[in-house]
Amino acid sequence: MRNYSTAMIKSVFITSALVMLAACATPPDITPKAAPTGNYKLDPTHASVIWSLSHAGLSNYSARFDDISGSLNFDAAAPQNSSVDIRIDPMSVSTGLPKFDTTIASGANYFNAGKHPEIRFVSTQIKLTGENKGEITGDLTFRGVTRPITLDTTFNGTGKSFGNPGKTLGFSAAAQFKRSDFGLTHLTNFGIGDEVTLRIETEFNQAQ
């Protein structure tokens, strides 16, 4: 009976907490002007950069990076004047196979992280294409080579993220580029795709 009462108390407590969280949760506002202008810091616990390429035409092989950092300077009145700076540790590549991760991260034919310890994207231009959509063009530095790429970006809105005292901005983005443009040509002659697709999900927390 005592155990039953304890279980009931826990159940009531958890239910009450969930109800309170649900009451506090509101849909994000996708109007850029609703977001405070200022500096934001990328939330690494709610960010992902997933890359994929063709594997002999049989599948689109996918992997991700686990160590991502960055900053956003957001201009609510003129979002096209905003800027973003993202840094990725190539050693954090995750394929699900630890030994292969080491090969891709450190191999001279792959990311060569010992010589090029950072992947970086710095925006140079933002073009608005819709109410909450835009194209972010910037310089991608990868394996010591810097080339422009464009991210097709959706502003998912501004809202409240649990654990963050200020506002949080959310974005989704996608891009394609050729890895050979960055000197990574290994196995392209054996059916491993040259075109890389990026799928990006990020949240930026208002700087305190």
Per the structure, the count of domains in the chain is 1
Alpha helices in the chain (DSSP H): 2-24, 98-106
Domain membership of residue 142 (yes or no) is yes
pLDDT tens digit sequence for 46-93? 999 999 999 999 999 999 999 999 999 999 999 999 999 999 999 999
User: How deeply is 35 buried, as exposed, middle or buried, from its count of CB atoms within 10 A (0-12, 13-18, 19+)?
Assistant: buried
User: Distance between CA 38 and CA 83 in Å, rounded?
Assistant: 11
Domain membership of residue 3 (yes or no) is no
Structure tokens at 197: 């697709």
Structure tokens at 189: 């002659």
What residues contact residue 158 under an 8 Å CB cut-off, 6+ apart?
28, 29, 34, 35, 36, 167, 168, 169, 170
pLDDT tens digit sequence for 125-162? 999 999 999 999 999 999 999 999 999 999 999 999 88
Domain membership of residue 22 (yes or no) is no
Residue 7, pLDDT score? 56
Give me the CATH number covering residue 94: 2.40.128.110
Domain membership of residue 187 (yes or no) is yes
Outline where DSSP puts E strands in 75-163: 83-88, 93-94, 119-130, 133-142, 145-159
Domain membership of residue 198 (yes or no) is yes
For residue 25, is pLDDT > 80?
Answer: no
Q: Which domain holds residue 47?
A: 29-206
User: Distance between CA 38 and CA 205 in Å, rounded?
Assistant: 11
Domain membership of residue 13 (yes or no) is no
Least confident of 22-26, 118-122, 198-202: 22-26
User: Distance between CA 100 and CA 94 in Å, rounded?
Assistant: 9
Domain membership of residue 6 (yes or no) is no
Average pLDDT, the chain: 91
> Residue holding tokens 């422009």?
148
Domain membership of residue 17 (yes or no) is no
User: CB atoms < 10 A from the CB of 141, how many?
Assistant: 17
User: How deeply is 126 buried, as exposed, middle or buried, from its count of CB atoms within 10 A (0-12, 13-18, 19+)?
Assistant: buried
| Residue 148 Cα to chain centre, angstroms | 18
Residue 55, pLDDT score? 97
- Report the chain's terminal Cα–Cα distance, integer Å: 49
Structure tokens at 8: 């009931």
Mean pLDDT, residues 178-201? 97
